[in-house]
């Protein structure tokens, strides 16, 4: 019979080994400290479910005996959506709290800032959520590992879908920072490669969190595109959808929209949810994997609500950290780096790996279409694509990643 403990059997095994080999001595070493940094106040729609996910994982692992006979302790701080704050927090967590490693961050520019700090201080950083490709490619470093599927993976998936459409004239809209810039660049390159006759007739770059939806929609409308590629999320997405619906921007036009199928962003659209958008997301209530069903039930029991994608990301982040520490039987940085590289670990999505070539996990994405069912948005016709099926091989990565992590 499936139980929560069966999914966490590896962690229970860790506890048994630790108890048999070092018992009280291991406990005397104190907790394993994880310094967690995220933009809780700047984007609560994603980060609050994320917090609940990692809290639940910590509770489950500690209840099963911890890792190496030691409890996990997460020391969490809010960066307020500012890279400068995040770096100051990281310094404090390292110098005052003596954390063993860093985890978290959401926005790409903040993830890059913490990654750079981690490299300078030679501390492992498990980037849970930031999506920029630079994090593991052009600005990748020995100490940074990223969990979520990258901008490249998700944008390339949507480009594949877009290539099958009749649309030739495309417009784009994306927040004007690293993530949005990367998402548009990848989509354009991949779509042009797959369908050379495509042309891009308009680009809109609203400031993150400050979209002027009226101006943006009018500009897109004036360009008369066949289809639109959208990268906005959160409040910007809601404003864009509302104004686009009002002006009929989406009528007769295909829309490929990054992240829009995630419950954090889809559910708030409510009865304004457009039909038929091609999206990446998280159809949590339809995933049939046994491990995932156990996760959903545990989350619902613990928090009295349904999981979001952030919940899953937070949960898996802690699973990955615990698995790496167990693999290396240490929290010492260099040994932990070696443990993470090529690591396979069990999650509600099955076994994931951190690739040796670029420290990117093989976590994939769900691709489907939006559907407005009785005033509620959902994903339909979806499928899961592993990151490994989309990511470039080591030969490509080696050309763009700094040579700072040669063994």
Q: Are residues 232 and 191 in the same domain?
A: yes
Q: Are residues 236 and 334 in the same domain?
A: no
Q: What is the pLDDT of residue 262?
A: 95
Q: Are residues 144 and 18 in the same domain?
A: yes
Q: Residues 207, 211, 214, 219: is their CA dihedral positive or negative?
A: positive
Mean of the per-residue pLDDT values of the chain: 92
Q: Specify whether the CB–CB gap between 382 and 279 falls below 8 A.
A: no
Q: Specify whether the CB–CB gap between 145 and 361 falls below 8 A.
A: yes
Can you give the residue range of the structural domain that contains 222? 152-285+365-389
- Residue 384 within any structural domain of the chain: yes
The string of pLDDT tens digits covering residues 170-184 is: 999 999 988 999 999
Q: What is the pLDDT of residue 249?
A: 98
- Residue 171 within any structural domain of the chain: yes
Q: Are residues 146 and 177 in the same domain?
A: no
- Residue 407 within any structural domain of the chain: no
The string of pLDDT tens digits covering residues 382-393 is: 999 999 999 999
Q: Tell me the three state secondary structure of residue 183.
A: helix
Number of domains making up the chain: 2
Q: Are residues 136 and 27 in the same domain?
A: yes
Number of residues written out for the chain:
407
Q: Specify whether the CB–CB gap between 383 and 368 falls below 8 A.
A: yes
pTM of the model: 0.89
Calpha distance 50→129 (Å, rounded):
9
Which helix (H) or strand (E) segment is 227 a member of? strand 227-230
Q: What is the pLDDT of residue 403?
A: 78
The string of pLDDT tens digits covering residues 201-233 is: 999 999 999 999 999 999 999 999 999 999 999
Q: Are residues 319 and 197 in the same domain?
A: no
Of 189, 142, 97, which Cα lies nearest the Cα of 392?
Answer: 189
Q: What is the pLDDT of residue 7?
A: 42
Q: Specify whether the CB–CB gap between 32 and 62 falls below 8 A.
A: no
């Amino acid at each position: 019979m499936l139980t929560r403990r069966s999914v966490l059997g590896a962690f229970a095994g860790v506890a048994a080994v630790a108890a048999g080999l070092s018992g009280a001595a291991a406990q005397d070493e104190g907790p394993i400290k994880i310094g967690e940094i995220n933009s809780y106040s700047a984007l609560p729609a994603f980060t609050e479910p994320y917090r609940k996910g990692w809290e639940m994982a910590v509770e489950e692992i500690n209840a099963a005996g911890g890792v190496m006979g030691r409890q996990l302790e997460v020391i969490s701080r809010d960066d307020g959506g500012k890279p400068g704050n995040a770096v100051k927090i990281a310094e404090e967590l390292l110098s005052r709290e003596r954390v063993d490693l860093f985890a978290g961050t959401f926005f790409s520019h903040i993830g890059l800032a913490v990654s750079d700090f981690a490299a300078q201080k030679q501390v492992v950083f498990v980037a849970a959520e930031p999506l920029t490709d630079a994090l593991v490619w052009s600005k990748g470093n020995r100490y940074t590992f990223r969990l979520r599927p990258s901008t490249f993976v998700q944008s390339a998936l949507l480009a594949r879908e877009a290539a099958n459409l009749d649309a030739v004239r495309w417009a784009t809209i994306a927040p004007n920072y690293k993530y949005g810039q990367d998402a548009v660049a990848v989509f354009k390159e991949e779509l042009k490669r797959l369908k050379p006759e495509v042309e891009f007739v308009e680009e809109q770059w609203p400031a993150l969190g400050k979209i002027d939806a009226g101006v943006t929609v009018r500009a897109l409308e004036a360009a008369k595109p066949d289809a639109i590629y959208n990268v906005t999320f959160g409040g910007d997405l809601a404003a864009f959808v509302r104004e686009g619906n009002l002006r009929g921007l989406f009528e007769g036009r295909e829309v490929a929209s990054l992240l829009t199928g995630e419950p954090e962003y889809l559910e708030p659209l409510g009865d304004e949810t457009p039909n038929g958008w091609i999206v990446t997301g998280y159809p949590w209530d339809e995933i049939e994997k046994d491990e995932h069903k156990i996760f959903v039930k545990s989350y619902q029991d613990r928090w009295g609500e349904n999981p979001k994608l952030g919940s899953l990301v937070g949960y898996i982040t802690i699973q990955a950290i615990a698995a790496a520490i167990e693999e290396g039987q240490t929290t010492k940085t260099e040994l932990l780096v070696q443990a993470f590289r090529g690591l396979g670990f069990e999650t509600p999505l099955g076994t994931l790996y951190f690739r040796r070539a670029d420290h990117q996990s093989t976590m994939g994405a769900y691709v489907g279409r939006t559907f407005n069912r009785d005033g509620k948005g959902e994903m339909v016709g979806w499928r899961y694509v592993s990151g490994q099926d989309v990511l470039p091989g080591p030969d490509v990565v080696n050309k763009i990643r700094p040579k700072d992590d040669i063994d």
